[in-house]
Structure 1
């Protein structure tokens, strides 16, 4: 069977890798016959190239790399293909799946995380920030902004604003100010991050001590289903291309 090799960005914060592994445990529970392996691009181990070489050594001759990335920014467009090429395994047929976002299952997971910290819809006293990492690749930021706009239209909150931890505007304090101007008396932050780490912590600091902070998407069953969907879609596309 073709191995599923998930690859996350990686972080010096050990909580990040721990949550990625928890998420992959959910994937394994949903597909117990599938060989699911976790890897990272940088800062955490094992690295993607090492995991691909391990899959080959264990007898696999094909693998699907599923990027655990929420948008198609630099890491997806450049780093993942480069890491696969650097592994230099001509005997292993590697297909790179699409990134996780956009997909309604990610939005559902983010809303569930908000609900887990007591946030409810139709609360006109509440303003919500959808906080993402931020990218120099404008379409990746536009994805987060489009989700925030959709939530604003249907949630019944005082307002919803996108904000970014780095590399893009608006930043978190700007989003807070915009929501206050719309009448929000309380602020909650929805996480557009897969796992904890430096940037989610930065969002928390900038949001202020009285802000309600939802946890990252983490080991959510729908996120795990989405990983499997990306895997199977890549397999189907690859089979159609070679047929």
Structure 2
């Protein structure tokens, strides 16, 4: 359907080396976008890019640590130098530490807040500067979490970071809307991806409870996050901004 067609649009996606980010890279490329992906490991970012090229897609891999403002700016400008413009930014790269709040060190807290809320702000800021130069608006999509709405045990700083991202979306949408820049988020629930696999011992104990508490009675698959993200980046949402789209199987509806 043409409303969801991204043909020729230049999309920067952060954290494309694995997990949901890798799925988003494939999904956006399949929808016609030129994907500029990044990771803290160039080899891993390039591995995803190679997969896209094997499918006949134009793409570029960039080394970037999105907690660093200079890397965020360089990432955006890499896309502009290669392809002449920027149309879409997808903030996806993130970090989590599962631990009792009482036991969090200041450094661990800074890592979680910095790798999520701060990184998203820095990337959005760099993208908005380019959008303003181009004078044609743009779309920013943020991968948040239903942890922004519901509290989860041993994830308090992560919940705080994701809650901050939701408010960041609303604030930036209000501020940048007059310039035609749309800012939205999709908020996954429990998903079978690399971040959950690293907590496999926890999930193996809790998986049954999670499934039983989810109205759709299962966890999401990573590919199921492609639709919400593409929708929010596409012309189908041309009058949608400041929106938080829960993609959590109904968890937060209860």
For the criterion TM > 0.5, the same-fold answer is no
- Asked which structure has the greater CA Rg, the reply is 1
**Higher RCO (CA-CA < 8 Å; seq separation 6+):** 1
- TM-score w.r.t. length of structure 2: 0.35
Which structure features the higher share of helix residues?
2
Calculate the TM-score normalised by the size of structure 1: 0.36
